[in-house]
Amino acid sequence: MAEFVPEALSALQKKITAMLSPDTPEATASEYFTDLQMVSGLVMITWPKARSTAPGVDARRTDLVLASRQDPSHSLHVSTPPQDARACASILLAADAILSAADLRTALAPLAPVENRTRSGIDPKRHRSWDSTFRRYQDDCSERFRNAAEYLVSTHRRHGRGGSRLPHRGLDYGPQHVPAFLPLEWAEAHLGAFIAAFSMPVLRRTTSAFLVRRALGKSTADAAEFLGLGIAGNGLGTRITSWARRQGTPEAYERALDAIAAELTSAPLIDYRHRRESLADWTLPPDSWHQIAARLERRRSPRYVSDDRARLAVTAYIWTRVTHGETQFAPCPPEARHTPEHEAAWSRVRYDIGHWLKQNKQPYYQQMKPLLDAYADQLIHVIDTERSGRQLARSLAK
């Protein structure tokens, strides 16, 4: 044992002895040893990634021992410690060093499956074996380890082998509380590291989908469908996480999601799904549009849109205000669904008017915008406070 660092081994031995003493609460000791077992399994799967956390040990011997475990016959026993005492000591030292890190999630980041499965070429069977062990013992792990592993080892939390992803534990929000288009101020505050590589709309849309996936489970495609994005969702966010890995910060996007989730839960939670469902077939009533139009001073302009096309187009603008969605995902009003020509005309005009309203530079639409915003605020109050479906239907029709 002369090749090992006596201080490191001695410290670990004293720690284990202390955990087994009557002075240590049984739950604390049990959680520590379960955590140690789980992290040791990840260390063995991903070795030599964790070698640097156990400096001075017989790394070469550990390399040889763990290399032999790559044989398929060992693939279902990845959490079983090797019989070689020196290799076992290396693994335990590395695992304990990771568990002792002040920032456990960052320490676990190099062992995350998103790294292993896409870059290391490790046999997926070995991950499934760890997955099985994690599912069996996750309730016996410490809350600290569960919280850290939840995000970085989240692909292991599934309904059975090959099943869908499970929701994260202990969230203070539900999927219905996530706006389909992340507020711009949150994106600017927490996604600055990604803006140089990705457009702001992509970041805002993708981040909302990832927040929903945390609460809903399943896949990003399911999250996109839940948000009504009207896109398949396949690969949604893959470019962002891949880019973060190439920068050497695979956990960066998850940390940004943490900060945005904190923003979400620090404010009153809003049921955006209920708002979307309430407005799925709603159109701004003609009487309401006439009252708004009557207050506008009409000026000749190539940007002026008359007749009922404007009413249907501003319906989409009001929808985006109420639901915090994007114009491109606004539902087509029933009046425009009859023919493809009508739907195409509505789609074109909604983008034009939505752009002029958001630009807020044309006098005619400068007059219109505060009136539509005030109407949207009234609609929000109705949707969020009305309890009777019949009352809600009457209120939205006014």
Average pLDDT, the chain: 80
* Residues contacting 133, CB < 8 A, separation 6+: 37, 38, 41, 79
Share of residues in the chain with pLDDT > 90 (%): 29
Dist CA 240 CA 228 (whole Å): 21
- With both helix axes pointing from N to C terminus, report the angle between 200-216 and 252-266 in degrees, rounded to the nearest 10: 80
pLDDT tens, position by position, 62-118: 777 777 766 555 554 556 777 777 888 888 888 999 999 998 888 887 777 554 444
Query: Token digits for 355?
Result: 């752009």
CA atoms within 13 A on the CB side of 71: 6
Q: 86, 71, 79: which is closest to 39 by C-alpha?
A: 79
**Which comes out higher in pLDDT, residue 223 or 87?**
223
- Terminal Cα-to-Cα distance of the chain (whole angstroms): 83
Share of residues in the chain with pLDDT > 70 (%): 77
pLDDT at residue 86, as a whole number: 80
Question: Given a cut of 80, is residue 151 above it in pLDDT?
Answer: no
Q: What is the mean pLDDT of residues 254-274?
A: 92
**Which comes out higher in pLDDT, residue 336 or 264?**
264
* Cβ atoms of 204 and 182 closer than 8 Å: yes
pLDDT at residue 164, as a whole number: 66
Q: What is the mean pLDDT of residues 331-354?
A: 85
Four-residue CA torsion sign, 339, 344, 347, 353: negative
Q: What is the mean pLDDT of residues 382-394?
A: 66
The SS3 call for residue 250 is coil
pLDDT tens, position by position, 110-147: 777 554 444 445 555 556 677 677 778 888 999 899 87
This prediction's pTM: 0.71
Dist CA 188 CA 211 (whole Å): 17
pLDDT at residue 43, as a whole number: 85
pLDDT at residue 149, as a whole number: 77
Region label for 82, one of left (φ > 0), alpha (ψ between -120 and 50) or beta (otherwise) = beta
pLDDT tens, position by position, 18-27: 999 999 999 9
Task: Please count the residues of the chain.
Answer: 398
**Which comes out higher in pLDDT, residue 387 or 200?**
200
